C-alpha cells in the first residue's frame, strides 16, 4: 500500500502531504504563541508597574542571538537549495552550520539564564520574569526540537538521499519551514520582551 | 476483547505476513485498527465517566447515606472469582458448543462493568468516603473528573478518534490516513493521557477537584491531583493536535479522483471543520495549562492576584496575575470544543438519515456552508461563558450578538435534517431511531442555550442546574445518541455482521425515556435557582425545597439508563460472532465506504480497486434512473 502524494504534489492543492501537514502544525503553533503573547499583554496592562525589558534583560546578548538565528535561517535555505542543485556536499555544510547556529543560540541563552539565576532571579520572582522565562523557555524548547531533527537528518536520516532524493529534499524543506517559524517567533519575542 | 475478534477478516486480506501481533494490533498504523482502539478505549471511559455520575446521583438523591451502589471489596472479590471460573469453563468445556457464544458475550459484557465497579470500589475508600458516606471533597473530585473524562476521554475520542479515523479515509476513497505513524502516535498520547487521569484518583488528596473548568486561584492551590490533571491534558492536547493535522491533510490530499469538495459526504465535512477547531482552539488551552503548571510547580503568579488570602493567611507569592486570564484561555478552547462535540454527531446523523429516508439530503450545500460558518463563529463567542465576571456592556453586547448569530447555522443544519424527512418512506431501523431522536433532543439542548447566551437571563441561570440540563441535552441524548446511531450503522462495516435489531430497539426506547427523566427535571430545578455544585443536592437550601423531590426521580432515571445499556453491551459482543452476516453494502448506501469497499475493508489499502467518484454523495431514488440508488463510485452509465 502506498499513500498518494507522499512525494509528489497533488495537482489541485499544489502540495505534497508533509508540506500541508507542517503548515497546519505551524498554524497551531501560531495559536500557541499567540495565546502567550496575548497573555503577556493582558498581564502587563493589568498591573500598575511592569519594568521595561531593557532595564532588566541583556539586550546586547539577545541582539547577537537574533543575528545568530537569522544566519541559521539563511543557511537552512541554502541547505535546501543545494539539494535542489544536486550538490549534497554543500547541503551537508549548510545544514551543519544551521545546527551550529542553533547550538550557539542555546549557549548564549544558557549564559543569559545562568546570570539571571546567579542574581537570584527566577520565574517566581515576579510576572515579568515569569513571562520572560516561560516564553523564551518554550521558544528554546522549539529550537532544541528543531536541532534534534536536523541532527537526525545530518546523521542516519541522510541515507535517504541515496534511495529517495526527492523525498529527502522534501524533508529538508519541511524542517526548514519549521525552522523559519521558530526564527520568526524570536523576531517577535526579541522586541516585545527585551526592548519594550 | 482482542481486535482480532472485531476484525476477523484481517488475516484473509493480509499481504504483509511479517507483521507481528504487536505491530498489527497494538502499535498499528492502520487507520481501521487505530479507530477500533480509540472506540474500545473511549467506550470504556464513557462507562467509567457514567459510573462516577451514578455515585454523584446517589449522593444527590440520598445525601449522607452510605453508598449502596458501590459493592465492597469482599463482594467484588467473590464476583471476580465467579467470573474467572465461568470464563475458564467457557474457554474449556463450552468452547465447542454452538450456543457458547451467548455465555461468552455475557461474560464479555460483564468484564468492563466489573472493571468499572472495581475502580469505583477502590476510589470509594475510607479517605474519600468514611463508612461509605462520601465527603464533599470527594464529591468535587467526582464532578471535576466526570466532566473531564466525558468530554476529553470519551465523547471527542469516540466522535473523532474512532468514527473519524475509521470512516473518513473510507468515505474519501483513501488507502489510509496521510500520516499513519502520526495516527499511531496520536492514540499513544491519548491512552497515557487517560491513564494519568485515572491514576490521579490515587494520589494524595485524590483527583482534580476544581471542576472540569479548573478555574484559578482555586485550582492553583488545589491538591496534587490538579498537577496530574494538567499533565494529562497536555498529553490529550498533543494527541488531538497530531490527529487534527492528520485529518485535514487526509481530507485535502487523499480524496479519490472525482471527489470534489461538494461531493464529500456531509460527515467528512463535519470532520474537516472539527479538525480545524481542534487544531486552532486547543493551543491556547495548552498555553494556559503550561502557565498553570508553572504556577503550581515553579511558584509563578500568572493566575494569582496580589494579596490572595487562603485559610486566613496571605499567600507568599509575587502576585499580580489574573484569574480571568485563565477563563479567557480556557473558554477560547472550550467553546469551540462544544462544536467539536456536536459537529461529528450531526455528520453521523446526516449519513444515517440520508440512507434511511432513501432521499438526497435536503439542502446539502446550505448544510456545508452552515458548518463552515459555524466553525468560524465558534471562535468569537467564548466570553458568553463569562457574563458574571463583571465584563463591560460593550464587550457583553458583542458576545451576545455573536452568540445569537451562531445559533442560526445550527438551526439551518437541524432544519435541513428535518426537511430531509419530508415525504420519505422512512426505514425505522435502530440507527435511524437514534438519529431521529437526536433531532428533538438536540433541538431542546440548542434552544435552551439561547437564554444562556443573553446576559440578562444568564445572570439568573448561570451555574444552576438549568445549564447542566442544557448542555447535557446537547451532548447526552444529542451526541451520544448520534454515536449510538453510528455504532449500529457502521458495525457491519467493521465486523461484517449486523447488530440485532430487536436488542437495538430494547436499547433505544428505554434509553430515550430514562435520559429524559434525568435531564428534563434539571430545567425545573435550575429555573428555581438550584446551584449546580451543591454537594447535598440542595437539601439545606431553602429555595431548593419546592423542587427537591426531583433529585430522587432523576437518580432513578440514571439507574434506568444504566440498565438500558445492558442490551447494547450484550448486543455488541454477541453480534461480533453471531450477528446476521451481511454483504458488502447491507444498507444499500451510496457513499464509498459501503459502495466500493468490502465489509470489513481490505486490511491494508481498504479498497480492492482504487475508486473513482462520478457523482454526489446522496443519489437515492434518482428520478431518471432505474436503480433505487446510485453509488458514488459506479461506472458512468452508458450514453
DSSP string, B188-212: HHHHHHHHHHHHGGGSTT-B--STT
At B105-118, the pLDDT tens digits run: 888 889 999 999 99
Cell for B118?
472495581
Evaluate whether A119 touches A129 at the Cβ level (below 8 Å): no
Return the pLDDT at B635. Answer: 61
What is the share, in percent, of chain A residues with pLDDT greater than 70?
Answer: 100
Dihedral (Cα; B300, B304, B308, B310), 10-degree rounding? -80
- Name the helix (H) or strand (E) containing A23: helix A17-45
For chain B, say whether A120 makes contact (Cβ under 8 Å): no
Task: Say whether B283 and A42 touch across the interface (CB within 8 A).
Answer: no
Neighbours of B119 (CB within 10 A): 16
pLDDT at B15: 46
What confidence category does residue A90 fall into, taking pLDDT thresholds of 50, 70 and 90? very high
Cβ B287–A127 below 8 Å, yes or no?
A: no
Interface check for A124 against chain B (CB to CB < 8 A): the answer is yes
Q: What is the DSSP letter of B262?
A: G
How many angstroms away from the CA of B325 is the closest CA of chain A? 7
DSSP letters spanning B563-619 = HHHHHHHHHHHHHHHHSEE--S-TT---SHHHHTS-SSPBTTTB-SS--B--S-TT-
Please, which residues have CB within 8 angstroms of residue B20's CB and are 6 or more apart in sequence? none
Is A65's pLDDT higher than 70? yes
Whether A42 sits inside 8 A of B325 (CB atoms) is: yes
Best of A15, A43, A51 to disrupt the B interface (most B CBs within 10 Å) is: A43
Closest residue by Cα to residue B44 from B577, B574, B572, B575: B572
Would you call B321 and A29 a contact, using CB atoms and an 8 Å cutoff? no
Contacts of A19 in chain B (CB under 8 A): none
With beta carbons less than 8 A apart as the criterion, state whether B325 and A47 touch.
no
Q: d(Cα A101, Cα A94) in Å, to the nearest integer?
A: 10
Nearest to B249 among A20, A32, A34 (CB): A20
Hey, is the C-beta of A45 within 8 angstroms of any chain B C-beta?
no
Whether residue B175 and residue A17 make contact (CB cut-off 8 A), yes or no, is: no
pLDDT for residue B98 = 58
* Binary contact (A123, B241; C-beta < 8 A): no
A35 reaches B (C-beta below 8 A): yes
Q: What is the pTM of this model?
A: 0.95
For residue B106, the model assigns a pLDDT of 87
Q: Going along B364-510, which residue ranges are E strands?
A: 497-498
How many CB pairs lie under 8 A apart between chains A and B? Answer: 128
Instruction: Pick the closest to residue B562 from B17, B54, B14 (CA basis).
Output: B54
Contact A134 B294 (CB under 8 A): yes
Contacts of A139 in chain B (CB under 8 A): none
pLDDT at B358: 96
Q: Is the peptide bond before B600 cis (omega within 30 degrees of 0)?
A: yes
pLDDT digits (tens, 9 = 90+) for B385-413: 999 998 999 999 999 999 999 999 999 99
Q: Which residues in chain A are closer than 8 Å to B242, comparing Cβ atoms?
A: none
The residue of B256, B300, B301, B306 whose CB has the most chain A CBs within 10 angstroms, and thus the best one to mutate to test that interface, is: B300
User: With an 8 Å Cβ cutoff, are B318 and A27 in contact?
Assistant: no
Distance of alpha carbon B97 from alpha carbon B84, whole angstroms: 19
Reply yes or no: is the peptide bond before residue B366 cis, omega within 30 of 0: no
| A69, pLDDT greater than 50 | yes
Angle, CA B435 vertex, CA B431 and CA B439 arms, to 5°? 170
For residue A113, with 0-12 CB atoms within 10 Å meaning exposed, 13-18 middle and 19 or more buried, which class applies?
middle
Residues of A within 8 A of B248 (CB-CB) are 20, 24
- A171/A181 Cα distance (integer angstroms): 16
Nearest to B320 among A34, A35, A47 (CB): A47
Give the pLDDT confidence score for residue B219 in this predicted structure.
Answer: 96
Give the E-state strand segments of A27-176 in sequence order.
Answer: none
Q: Which residues of chain B have pLDDT under 70?
A: 1-18, 94-100, 635-639
CA B393 to chain centre: 35
A-chain residues within 8 Å CB-CB of B182? 21
- pLDDT given at position B3: 41
* CB distance A67 to A75 below 8 Å: no
Is the distance from CB of A10 to CB of A16 less than 8 angstroms?
yes
Phi-psi region of B347 (alpha: psi -120 to 50; beta: other; left: phi over 0): alpha
Q: Contact A70/A183 with Cβ under 8 angstroms?
A: yes
B325 touches chain A (CB under 8 A): yes
The confidence score (pLDDT) of residue B94 equals 64
Q: What is the pLDDT of residue B18?
A: 64
Would the CA dihedral through B462, B273, B30, B190 be positive or negative? negative
Q: Which of B234, B241, B320 to mutate to test the interface with A (most CBs of A within 10 A)?
A: B320
Backbone angles phi, psi at A76, to 5 degrees: -65, -45
* Chain B: closest CA distance from residue A174 (Å): 14
Amino acid at each position: 500500500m502506498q499513500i498518494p502524494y507522499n512525494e509528489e504534489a497533488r495537482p489541485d492543492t499544489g502540495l505534497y502531504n508533509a508540506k500541508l501537514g507542517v503548515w497546519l502544525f505551524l498554524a497551531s503553533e501560531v495559536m500557541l504563541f499567540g495565546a502567550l503573547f496575548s497573555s503577556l499583554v493582558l498581564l502587563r496592562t493589568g498591573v500598575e508597574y511592569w519594568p521595561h525589558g531593557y532595564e532588566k534583560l541583556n539586550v546586547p546578548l539577545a541582539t547577537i542571538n537574533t543575528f545568530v538565528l537569522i544566519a541559521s535561517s539563511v543557511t537552512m535555505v541554502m541547505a535546501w537549495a543545494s539539494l535542489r542543485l544536486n550538490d549534497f556536499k554543500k547541503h551537508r555544510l549548510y545544514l551543519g552550520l544551521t545546527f551550529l547556529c542553533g547550538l550557539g543560540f542555546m549557549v548564549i541563552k544558557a549564559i543569559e539564564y545562568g546570570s539571571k539565576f546567579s542574581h537570584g532571579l527566577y520565574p517566581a520572582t515576579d510576572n515579568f520574569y515569569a513571562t520572560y522565562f516561560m516564553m523564551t523557555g518554550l521558544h528554546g524548547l522549539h529550537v532544541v526540537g528543531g536541532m534534534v531533527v536536523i541532527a537526525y537528518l545530518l546523521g542516519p536520516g541522510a541515507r535517504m538521499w541515496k534511495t529517495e532524493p526527492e523525498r529527502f529534499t522534501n524533508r529538508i524543506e519541511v524542517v526548514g519551514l519549521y525552522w523559519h517559524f521558530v526564527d520568526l517567533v524570536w523576531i517577535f519575542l526579541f522586541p516585545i520582551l527585551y526592548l519594550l | 476483547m482482542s481486535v482480532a475478534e472485531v476484525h476477523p477478516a484481517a488475516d484473509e486480506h493480509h499481504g504483509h505476513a511479517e507483521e507481528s501481533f504487536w505491530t498489527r494490533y497494538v502499535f498499528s498504523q492502520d487507520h481501521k485498527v487505530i479507530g477500533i482502539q480509540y472506540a474500545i478505549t473511549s467506550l470504556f471511559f464513557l462507562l467509567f465517566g457514567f459510573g462516577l455520575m451514578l455515585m454523584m446521583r446517589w449522593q444527590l438523591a440520598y445525601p449522607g447515606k452510605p453508598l449502596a451502589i458501590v459493592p465492597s471489596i469482599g463482594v467484588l472479590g467473590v464476583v471476580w472469582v465467579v467470573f474467572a471460573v465461568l470464563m475458564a469453563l467457557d474457554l474449556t468445556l463450552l468452547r465447542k458448543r454452538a450456543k457458547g457464544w451467548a455465555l461468552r458475550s455475557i461474560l464479555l459484557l460483564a468484564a468492563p462493568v466489573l472493571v468499572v465497579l472495581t475502580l469505583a470500589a477502590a476510589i470509594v475508600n475510607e479517605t474519600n468516603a468514611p463508612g461509605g458516606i462520601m465527603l464533599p471533597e470527594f464529591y468535587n473530585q467526582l464532578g471535576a473528573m466526570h466532566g473531564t473524562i466525558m468530554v476529553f476521554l470519551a465523547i471527542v475520542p469516540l466522535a473523532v478518534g474512532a468514527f473519524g479515523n475509521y470512516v473518513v479515509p473510507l468515505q474519501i476513497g483513501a488507502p489510509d490516513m496521510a500520516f499513519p505513524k502520526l495516527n499511531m502516535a496520536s492514540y499513544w498520547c491519548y491512552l497515557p493521557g487517560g491513564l494519568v487521569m485515572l491514576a490521579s484518583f490515587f494520589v494524595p488528596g485524590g483527583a482534580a477537584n476544581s471542576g472540569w473548568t479548573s478555574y484559578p486561584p482555586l485550582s492553583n492551590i488545589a491538591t496534587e491531583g490538579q498537577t496530574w490533571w494538567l499533565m494529562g491534558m497536555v498529553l490529550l492536547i498533543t494527541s488531538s493536535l497530531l490527529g487534527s493535522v492528520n485529518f485535514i491533510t487526509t481530507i485535502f490530499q487523499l480524496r479519490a479522483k472525482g471527489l470534489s469538495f461538494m461531493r464529500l459526504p456531509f460527515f467528512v465535512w463535519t470532520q474537516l471543520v472539527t479538525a480545524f477547531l481542534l487544531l486552532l482552539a486547543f493551543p491556547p488551552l495548552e498555553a494556559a495549562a503550561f502557565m498553570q503548571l508553572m504556577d503550581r510547580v515553579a511558584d509563578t503568579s500568572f493566575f494569582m492576584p496580589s494579596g490572595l488570602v487562603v485559610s486566613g493567611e496571605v499567600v507568599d507569592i509575587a502576585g499580580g496575575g489574573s484569574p480571568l486570564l485563565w477563563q479567557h484561555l480556557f473558554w477560547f478552547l472550550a467553546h469551540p470544543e462544544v462544536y467539536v462535540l456536536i459537529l461529528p454527531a450531526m455528520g453521523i446523523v446526516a449519513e444515517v438519515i440520508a440512507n434511511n429516508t432513501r432521499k438526497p439530503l435536503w439542502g446539502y450545500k446550505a448544510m456545508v456552508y452552515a458548518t463552515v460558518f459555524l466553525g468560524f463563529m465558534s471562535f468569537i463567542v467564548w466570553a458568553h461563558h463569562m457574563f458574571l465576571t463583571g465584563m463591560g456592556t460593550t464587550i457583553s453586547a458583542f458576545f451576545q450578538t455573536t452568540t445569537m448569530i451562531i445559533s442560526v447555522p445550527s438551526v439551518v443544519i437541524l432544519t435541513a435534517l428535518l426537511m430531509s424527512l419530508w415525504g420519505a418512506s422512512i426505514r425505522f431501523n435502530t440507527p435511524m431511531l437514534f438519529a431521529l431522536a437526536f433531532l428533538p433532543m438536540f433541538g431542546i439542548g440548542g434552544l435552551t442555550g439561547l437564554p444562556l447566551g443573553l446576559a440578562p437571563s444568564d445572570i439568573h441561570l448561570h451555574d444552576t442546574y438549568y445549564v447542566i440540563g442544557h448542555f447535557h441535552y446537547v451532548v447526552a441524548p444529542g451526541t451520544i445518541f448520534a454515536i449510538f446511531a453510528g455504532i449500529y450503522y457502521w458495525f457491519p462495516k467493521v465486523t461484517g455482521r449486523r447488530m440485532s435489531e430487536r436488542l437495538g430497539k430494547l436499547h433505544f426506547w428505554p434509553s430515550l425515556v430514562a435520559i429524559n427523566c434525568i435531564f428534563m427535571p434539571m430545567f425545573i430545578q435550575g429555573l428555581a435557582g438550584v446551584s449546580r455544585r451543591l454537594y447535598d443536592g440542595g437539601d439545606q437550601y431553602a429555595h431548593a425545597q419546592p423542587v427537591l423531590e426531583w433529585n430522587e426521580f432523576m437518580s432513578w432515571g440514571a439507574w434506568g439508563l444504566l440498565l438500558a445499556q445492558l442490551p447494547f453491551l450484550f448486543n455488541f459482543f454477541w453480534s461480533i460472532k453471531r450477528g446476521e452476516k451481511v454483504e458488502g453494502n447491507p444498507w444499500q448506501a451510496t457513499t464509498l465506504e459501503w459502495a466500493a469497499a468490502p465489509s470489513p475493508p481490505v486490511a491494508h489499502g481498504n479498497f480492492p480497486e482504487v475508486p473513482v467518484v462520478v457523482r454526489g454523495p446522496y443519489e437515492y431514488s434518482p428520478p431518471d434512473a432505474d436503480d433505487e440508488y446510485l453509488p458514488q463510485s459506479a461506472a458512468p452509465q452508458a450514453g
